[in-house]
Structure 1
Amino acid sequence: MKKENPVECVGCNTFDVGTIIDNSNCTSHLERVYASKEEAEQALTEFTAKARSAETEPCQIKAEITQVKNGFLLSADFTFSCQAESLIFELGLR
């Protein structure tokens, strides 16, 4: 049964979502090192699939795989049409 006068949590930290998600940052950046170039390419394929599942409009993907001292560095930017999609993508990576 719904209460007519819900009690507000005075001790809780509350905030307006619009102050956090304001579409000022629609790009998710990631950098990860893999043992081989093939592993880095496979990871990029998986990240791309996750981005495609979060997008409503085509996500812009810029990625580079470079050899570094301890393997291969995947550096990628995923730019979404809105910040909420970027957050959904990032949460899906956890």
Structure 2
Amino acid sequence: QGGSDQWGNLTAGIDLIHRLEPGATVHALATPLMVKADGTKFGKSESGAVWLDPEMTTPYAFYQFWLNVDDRDISRYLRILSFKSREELEELEK
């Protein structure tokens, strides 16, 4: 699994597995990149990454990260990262 920018790495991994295990069933999943309102990537390779592991991001830094998210990004992040129904999300957006 990887972001759409990692498609080359995903297919290289598939090719390697097929060379090592001929006939193996292999799956790769590419997902759209999460980008911020300004178009920059959201992820571990960018500065300001946030982790669920408190050893990598303190609870305070985690809280501050979400508190400081650009307002333009909130609806999109909720749609991607929450388990809220479409109706609940639409209600929040009002």
Give the TM-score normalised by structure 1: 0.30
More helix by share: 2
Structure with bigger strand share is 1
